[in-house]
Amino acid sequence: MNSQSDYEPIIRTGSQAPLLEVRRLKKFFPIHKGILSRHVGDVRAVDNVSFALEEGETLGLVGESGCGKTTVGRCILRLLEPTSGEILYKGENILGSSGEKLREYRRQIQPIFQDPYSSLNPRKTVADLVGEALLVHGICQSEEERNERVCELLNKVGLSSTYLNRYPHEFSGGQRQRIGIARAIALNPSIIVCDESVSALDVSVQAQVLNLLIDLKEEMGLSYIFIAHDLSVVKHISDKIGVMYLGQVAELAPTQDVFQTPKHPYTKALLSALPRPNPRKKSNRILLKGDVPTPINPPPGCYFNTRCPEVLPICSEIEPAMKWASARHLCKCHLVDDRRRSDSGPPQDMIDRRKEELYPKSKPDAVIEV
Segment 16-59, tens digit of pLDDT: 679 999 999 999 999 999 888 899 999 999 999 999 999 999 99
Predicted confidence at residue 365, as pLDDT, reads 46
Instruction: Give 305's DSSP letter.
Output: T
Find the distance separating the first CA and the last CA of the chain, reported in whole Å. Answer: 35
pLDDT at 318 over 80: yes
Distance CA 216, CA 219 (A): 5
Is the Cβ–Cβ distance between 94 and 88 less than 8 Å?
Answer: yes
Give residue-wise pLDDT tens across range 230-245: 888 899 999 999 999 9
* Confidence band of 358 (pLDDT split at 50, 70, 90): low
Is the Cβ–Cβ distance between 319 and 4 less than 8 Å?
Answer: no
Instruction: Give 369's DSSP letter.
Output: -
* Strands of 240-245's sheet in order across: 109-112, 191-195, 223-227, 58-62, 240-245, 248-254, 329-331, 323-326
Helix (H) or strand (E) holding 74: helix 69-76
Mean pLDDT of 338-342: 63
Predicted confidence at residue 32, as pLDDT, reads 93
Q: How many CB atoms sit inside 10 A of residue 66's CB?
A: 16
Predicted confidence at residue 342, as pLDDT, reads 45
* Confidence band of 129 (pLDDT split at 50, 70, 90): very high
Contacts of the segment 37-44: beta carbons below 8 A, 24+ positions apart: 41/296, 41/297, 42/296, 43/295, 43/296, 44/246, 44/247, 44/295, 44/296, 44/298
Mean pLDDT of 130-138: 90
Tell me how far CA of residue 137 lies from CA of 152, 155, 181, 183, 220, in angstroms: 18, 22, 18, 13, 19
pLDDT at 287 over 90: no
Helix (H) or strand (E) holding 85: strand 84-89
